[in-house]
Amino acid sequence: MKTAKILMVVVITAALISACASMPDDQRTRAEGTAAGAVLGGLLGALIDGERGALIGAAVGAGAGYAVGNEVAKRKAEYASTEDYLDGEAERVAEFNATTGQYNQRLAQQIKALEQEAEYLRTQIDAGTADEAVLQAQRATLREELDSAERLEAALAQELEVQNAILAEERENRADEDPYIQRLESEVAELQNNLETLRTGSTQLARIDQRLSV
């Protein structure tokens, strides 16, 4: 079912981009940016539902160890104007923020529930009455959640690096009060906050797992 959802997102996005081909340059680049944002949100959404591995690589559009400068140049070349480029990147980061915000909310609720269960299991462990199967199942759930958080964290950190490079480059050529720069700066600042929140959640999950170690 999850694979089918991912395929559907990719097919819809391909159709959107194909439909953009007949548009004028300025409209096409903006529409393509929106389509890319849609598939990004879909892929990250699929991650939240439990998908792993290649989805994060697809979401950020590059493999591990890529050159940030090359990624920036590649993205900029896809737009007809700098304004469209900055708008498109702001939309992209907004997709990251919307999806990660939802993920962080769900993770906070999950952590609260896991902490309560861990406290109960820790009491049983100390009393020597813990059910090993229950304990292992709980730790497996914890590690699965931590794996998801760490993969999303890696994607956010990678995207943040690219966006900071974009801002550093474009600030040199545009006014301090430029609205396109300001919009992207706002989204990037939110991305940084979301990343820090996610890192805090990952740390909490690791501590819960530690408490359950026998």
pTM value is 0.69
Note the pLDDT of residue 82. Answer: 94
Indicate whether 57 belongs to any domain. Answer: no
Largest CA distance in the chain: 71
pLDDT, tens only, 143-159: 888 888 888 888 889 88
CB 54 within 8 A of CB 3: no
pLDDT in tens, 194-209: 999 999 999 999 988 8
Mean pLDDT of the residues in the chain: 75
C-alpha 165/C-alpha 142 separation (Å) is 35
Residue 21 in any domain: the answer is no
The parts of the chain modelled with pLDDT lower than 50 are 1-23, 25-41, 43, 49-57, 60-65
72: helix, coil or strand? helix
> Please, how many CA atoms are within 13 Å of residue 103, restricted to the half-sphere of its CB?
33
What is the structure's pLDDT at 192?
A: 97
Examine residue 188 and state whether it is found in any structural domain, yes or no. Answer: yes
Half-sphere exposure for 174 (CA within 13 Å, toward CB): 16
Domain assignment of residue 99, yes or no: yes
- Is residue 13 a part of any domain in this protein? no
Residue span of the structural domain in which 148 resides: 65-211
The tally of domains found in the chain comes to 1
Cα–Cα distance for residue pair 119/104, rounded to 1 Å? 22
In a domain, 7, yes or no: no
SS3 of 212, please? coil
